[in-house]
Structure 1
Amino acid sequence: MSKRAAGFVIFRRLCDQIQFLLLRASYGTYHWSAPKGHVDPGEDDFTTALRETQEEAGYSENDLIIYKDSCMTLNYNVNNKPKIVVYWLAELKDPQKAPTLSDEHTEMKWLPKDQAKEIVGFADNQQMIEHFYQYIMNKK
């Protein structure tokens, strides 16, 4: 059975630039990713995304403009086991509000699209950042 996770790809508009929030994991390969986490029993994906973003970045639903029509699902394997991760795009209302990291992450970065794509490394994450960037550009 696949593990499910959910989260938000958070961006901010700063000095006419779109920047994406990425967090560096404090475990495993120390990979960079958007805030996300496993779906708890009885929890839906969206509720998980809200909870995990609060836990991992300190942002609540009130801090974000959530684009509910911008859902994207990634399917991949972790340790030879299937994983499904559902992401929504979310804009930080106050671009100056700093995230509050949990102990699951060692650092964070706000990066423009190309640098964000470079640091995440995985092709599906790169495609997702590009997809959400195009979504943002089309919303202007």
Structure 2
Amino acid sequence: MAALRACGFIVFRRLVPPLDNIEYLLLQTSYGTHHWTPPKGHVDPGEDDLTTALRETREEAGLGPDRLRVIEGFVRELHYEVRGRPKEVLYWLAELRDPGTAVTLSDEHQDYRWARLEEACSLADFKDLQDTLRAANRHLEAEQSKQ
């Protein structure tokens, strides 16, 4: 059975330097258990993964490619099962260019939250997503230490 494939972004914003003022965007689903997740969605036929991530982030959070700066050198692939079927999710990391930009939810989500790392990890019920958020934060710390 072929795995379902989805792609999205770990979106973050910097309120003011330094690093501990980074917040991550999580969306609360309007279905199922109302879990919290970064914007993501399924790959359409003929669509490449990064295009899917950009499209889904625009559809689910109202944040188009012009609002985001994709961070080089970060991509994580998660593997898990949904209703007995394997699923792969690729996440890139993207900074919101203007931290004051409004989030506009689709009907797939009922709420959103900007959260610092530990709060984001507590909202994200799944360990692999928590690990991905922490890896994103480590990547940003390493990027900042090079500057």
| TM-score calculated relative to the size of structure 1 | 0.98
AA in 1 matched with 2:130: Q
- The residue number in structure 2 matching 1:37 is 41
Q: Distance in 1 between matches of 2:118 and 2:22?
A: 11
- The residue number in structure 1 matching 2:119 is 115
Q: CA RMSD in A?
A: 0.7
C-alpha displacement at 1:43, in angstroms? Answer: 0.6
SS of 1:20's equivalent in the other structure is strand
Over 6 Å off, 4+ runs: none
Q: Distance in 2 between matches of 1:114 and 1:134?
A: 13
SS of 2:76's equivalent in the other structure is strand
Overall identity of the aligned pairs, in %: 48
- The residue number in structure 2 matching 1:3 is 4
C-alpha displacement at 1:40, in angstroms? Answer: 0.6
Q: Distance in 1 between matches of 2:109 and 2:47?
A: 23
Which sits farther off after the overlay, 115-124 or 14-23?
Answer: 14-23
C-alpha displacement at 1:121, in angstroms? Answer: 1.1
AA in 1 matched with 2:7: A
Q: Deviations over 1:87-140 (max 9, x none)?
A: 100000000111110000000000000000000110000000000000011111
What are the ranges of 5 or more consecutive residues in structure 1 without an aligned counterpart?
Answer: none
| TM-score calculated relative to the size of structure 2 | 0.93
What are the ranges of 5 or more consecutive residues in structure 2 without an aligned counterpart?
Answer: none
AA in 1 matched with 2:88: I
Does the alignment pair 1:79 with 2:83? yes
Q: Distance in 2 between matches of 1:68 and 1:122?
A: 25
Which sits farther off after the overlay, 11-20 or 127-136?
Answer: 11-20
C-alpha displacement at 1:80, in angstroms? Answer: 1.2
SS of 2:46's equivalent in the other structure is coil
Does the alignment pair 1:58 with 2:62? yes
- The residue number in structure 1 matching 2:99 is 95
AA in 2 matched with 1:32: W
AA in 1 matched with 2:80: Y
Closer/same/farther in 2, CA of residues 130 and 109 from structure 1, 3 Å limit: same
> Higher strand proportion, which one?
1
AA in 1 matched with 2:14: R
